Structure 1
């Protein structure tokens, strides 16, 4: 039940209609019997996003998840931030309290949770991980992988962009010379929005393949990896993984036990994936 005293949080992005976050968070709120709501917001420009944050400062919202194109602006508007948000220079969580804004980033944590869930035999410490791409998705992934002790190689069409990201993220991150680097990789992560042109025959039999997108949940990249008998990790597991720490930050309590995956798969089927 929602009353006038409801705890309200939400997600801000443009576009936002495709987001599964309201499905997840409102399911948790219902399961917990909480007087609350999680609402999608679509600011059409940076000025309107800043106005939304101002509403949070004024006490109208508990907090926000933030998605493209506002993650870097969200970080810049915060009064304080976690180490992981500072490392990537962006935030997907803003918490409002006593007129102040605190920024965090749970994208990397979601990735690690997904790997633990769907590739439990994988060991990241001292393992080679190849990340395909050098954009915002790659940035969040690399920070968490380095924290877990992995050696990361970036493979990107634009070498300059990969080198810039590598320089920012420390000496455990470097730029791959060519596709041959995947031969020694324990994990390959597609952080691109397109199907990567990687020959999966180069991968070792024990390699894990992950795709950060979840539309569709089983991408062509993952299908090809599975056909080779490789362990795969999908973007839906990562989405659910980052949602739990988001819920706890926004609503000040952990989410109740609830298997969200069947609910999300049914929702994706209903809207055409």
Structure 2
């Protein structure tokens, strides 16, 4: 369809086909090590569905400084929490616990349902870890963490704890996706596209930094810029990064991304 190429990432990334296996292997090794050390709680339920679970990784300190929740991408169609565990490394090094939820995929559910699932996951993880809450999400996950800033979506006692929200390469306006072949599975209507687009939410009071790779597709650079300009929030365009490696900095304790999310 008209915008298929605009929202195709892998076709413009050298070696793109190797990334999913690489992510899975890194995540598998990290999870094994954390579990062996007693620093992982796997498959914590936040709802009754088979995919309504999150993994919780704990820092060395007995009392975490706070909680980072990372929401993965995949156009609401693919991947789950087990592919991204290694990205917890950066925040763990700063004493934060890290929760990583799975969620149902389209076309089994609508995007609006996934938004509600992530709100449930954030609320459930917040019960287990005290302190400030940072949210980060990539691509479709960037959309989902931005949606958490909508008034009334999170319980008040959870919303007040939000310290930073970072949509990474987010989809902030869903209307263009209606002009892609993905919409056969996403099932977006005009009404849902507007209701589920962070671009049309009120600008939040919580600190937000929109992050995107400088080498991403123009459509994703636009999506990030639209949100940053509309919300009047932070906007980082990371040099030399594309859609698949822009998230690597989450695993790096000394990265600017981690410093922005959880501080020193």
| TM-score normalized by the length of structure 1 | 0.35
Higher CA-based Rg: 1
| TM-score normalized by the length of structure 2 | 0.36
Ranked by relative contact order (alpha carbons within 8 Å, sequence separation 6 or more), the top structure is 2
